[in-house]
């Protein structure tokens, strides 16, 4: 007869073995061609890497393009990144055209960075805003330029007098200019139209896409020219199909 201690020890080992959690299957390598339609695997300026690692739950795509390498987790995001790569390509091609050059020539004096900074950070910007910003607003058909100049003068005067309300003066002036900049310039609306033509998310975190949309939209908008995203840009019907492909609601624009 076996000692009771041995029997108990054996039973405990068996019990622990039975309760041990099963080992999860490690991530496997999949092929992009098994996850995406053939027409999305490669484009004029991008290529989806065929090897797609997984973490056991999601597929991790890598997209090589002429404008950098993009990563995406899951099929929906991969489709969005592909649309963005195509969008960047169209914007770059558009920037090589004569119409863009003409728009750029007309808009060369328009301080886009200064205007955008006023919108994003009105309090600090109004203290530093160059009076040439006013020239921009006058050219787009607004008296905001004079308002910018007056606001800067008010802030400078308060500062010279060591006025305790100088900060409040700057804040009020900045908020007023910010609101006017957003509504009068119309740049944001023009940029939404650019995104719609491309079939991309206007609020994407893709920095290169945002940079190219800013550049092209500004040239056409500030240059007073109709927005055209080149001969290769999607027609209205194709653009709608593109927005459906990447899951962007039509009312986003």
Mean per-residue pLDDT pooled into runs of 10, the chain (253 residues):
50 47 63 96 96 93 96 97 96 89 72 54 51 44 49 58 56 54 68 94 95 90 78 39 52 62
DSSP state of 24: P
Q: Which of 94, 81, 78, 1 minimizes the C-alpha distance to 36?
A: 78
| The pLDDT of residue 19 | 47
Based on the number of CB atoms within 10 Å of its own CB, is 13 exposed (0-12), middle (13-18) or buried (19 or more)? exposed
| The pLDDT of residue 250 | 60
Based on the number of CB atoms within 10 Å of its own CB, is 106 exposed (0-12), middle (13-18) or buried (19 or more)? middle
Whether the CB-CB separation of 194 and 227 falls below 8 Å is answered with: yes
Residue 51: strand, helix, or coil: strand
The residues, any chain, with a CB within 8 Å of residue 156's CB and separated by 6 or more, are none
- Quote the tokens at residue 241: 């199909």
Q: Distance of alpha carbon 15 from its chain centroid, rounded?
A: 55
**What is the distance between the alpha carbons of residues 244 and 237, in angstroms, rounded to a whole number?**
11
Based on the number of CB atoms within 10 Å of its own CB, is 200 exposed (0-12), middle (13-18) or buried (19 or more)? buried
Q: Where are the domains of the chain?
A: 29-82, 90-107+188-252, 117-182
In angstroms, the Cα distances linking 132 to 47, 116, 155, 244 are: 44, 14, 17, 43
| The pLDDT of residue 103 | 80
**What is the distance between the alpha carbons of residues 113 and 64, in angstroms, rounded to a whole number?**
30
pTM: 0.60
**What is the distance between the alpha carbons of residues 82 and 70, in angstroms, rounded to a whole number?**
9
In angstroms, the Cα distances linking 62 to 40, 67, 97, 188 are: 13, 13, 31, 31
Taken in order 87, 93, 94, 96, the sign of the CA dihedral is positive
């Amino acid at each position: 007869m076996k000692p009771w201690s041995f029997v108990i020890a054996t039973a405990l080992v068996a019990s622990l073995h039975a309760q041990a959690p099963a080992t999860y299957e490690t991530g496997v390598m999949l092929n992009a061609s098994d996850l995406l339609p053939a027409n999305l695997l490669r484009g004029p300026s991008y290529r989806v890497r065929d090897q797609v690692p997984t973490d056991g739950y999601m597929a991790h795509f890598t997209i090589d393009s002429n404008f950098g390498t993009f990563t995406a987790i899951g099929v929906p995001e991969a489709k969005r990144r592909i649309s963005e790569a195509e969008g960047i390509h169209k914007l770059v091609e558009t920037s090589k055209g004569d119409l863009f050059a003409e728009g750029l020539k007309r808009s060369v004096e328009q301080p886009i960075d200064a205007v955008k900074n006023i919108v994003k950070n009105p309090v600090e910007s109004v203290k530093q805003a160059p009076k040439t910003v006013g020239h921009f607003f006058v050219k787009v058909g607004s008296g905001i330029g004079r308002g910018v100049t007056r606001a800067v003068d008010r802030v400078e005067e308060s500062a010279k007098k060591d006025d305790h309300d100088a900060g409040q003066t700057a804040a009020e002036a900045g908020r007023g200019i910010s609101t006017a900049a957003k509504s009068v310039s119309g740049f944001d609306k023009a940029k939404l139209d650019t995104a719609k033509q491309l079939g991309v998310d206007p609020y994407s975190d893709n920095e290169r896409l945002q940079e190219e949309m800013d550049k092209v939209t500004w040239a056409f908008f500030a240059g007073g020219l109709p927005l055209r995203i080149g001969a290769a840009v999607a027609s209205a019907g194709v653009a709608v199909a593109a927005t459906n492909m990447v899951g962007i609601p039509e009312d986003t624009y």
